[in-house]
Structure 1
Amino acid sequence: MQAAPVTVTAPCSGSGCAGRSPVSTGCDHQARTVRRSAEIGPLIELRYSARCRAAWVRVTHARGGDRIEARNRSGACRPRSCYTRTVASGHSSTYTAMVNDKGVKAWGCLYRRNGNIVCTEGY
């Protein structure tokens, strides 16, 4: 006799994931990179979890003081639609909290200490 399949439910979905960590919620499991920067240097990736219907930004090969931002609305950075994280001194990578990506487009940007800005396309 076979055991019944286990149903895995998302710990949050869409707007319920806004501001939460993709790692602590498990939304990073089976997530995929849907957009990435085309620039040479730090790699900025827009990550998406279909299970959680949420997106976040991850950067690698950055420098301490560089800042990343995940957004899902146009205009100014507003609560629950924009989350930022600064790369800690002595580190080269980090990720943001999640933004809702259910029925809206999300994108990510890297703000370098030297003033350069690199963004992904929306997804």
Structure 2
Amino acid sequence: MRTVVRLAAGAAASLLLTLSGTVPGNAAPTVATATATAHCTGSGCAGRNPVGTGCDRQARTVRRSAEIGPLVELRYSAACRAAWVRVTHARGGDRIEARNKGGACRPTSCYARTVAPGHSSVYTAMVNDKGIRAWGCLQRRNGNVVCTEAY
């Protein structure tokens, strides 16, 4: 029993030293950085995936729908100067759109995604939000439309 306790204590101490960056034999502690360089900015992000470009890393939700039901969020990345829409608690067939200009949904001003059957969340490609207001909408299968305020 003492051997098992000693092994567990040794493993825990080793793990703590590794996580703290103070591993014996290393000249300097390692520090993990949460920031990474974004791969696009403004109009260069239009139509691109926020996860694939790194724009999602420090993004924040700047607007939410106020309706009961699926949560529609307008996400914004200051590093990328771009926005996109994420929906959770939706149903297959519901469609979300990220927009940054008035009128019909056109390339570079609107990107849409449909929630896949059996899923409840999805996010859109990004729209330019550099000096332009963006917003998001959810079109439910039953015809109801819910939008965020512009940001």
Higher relative contact order (CA 8 A, sep 6+): 1
Higher relative strand content: 1
Task: Output one character per residue of 1:15-59: Cα deviation in whole Å (capped at 9) or x when no partner.
Answer: 000000001111000100000000000000000000000000000
Shift of 1:8: 4.4
Considering only CA atoms, is the larger Rg found in Structure 1 or Structure 2? 2
Among candidates 13, 16, 19, match of residue 44 of structure 2: 16
Normalising by structure 1, we get a TM-score of: 0.93
Aligned 1:39-118 pairs, distance under 5 A: 39-118=67-146
Q: Percent identity, aligned pairs only?
A: 82
Higher relative helix content: 2
Displaced runs of 4 or more, over 4 A: none
5+ long unaligned stretches in structure 1: none
Q: Where does residue 65 of structure 2 map in the other structure?
A: 37
Normalising by structure 2, we get a TM-score of: 0.76
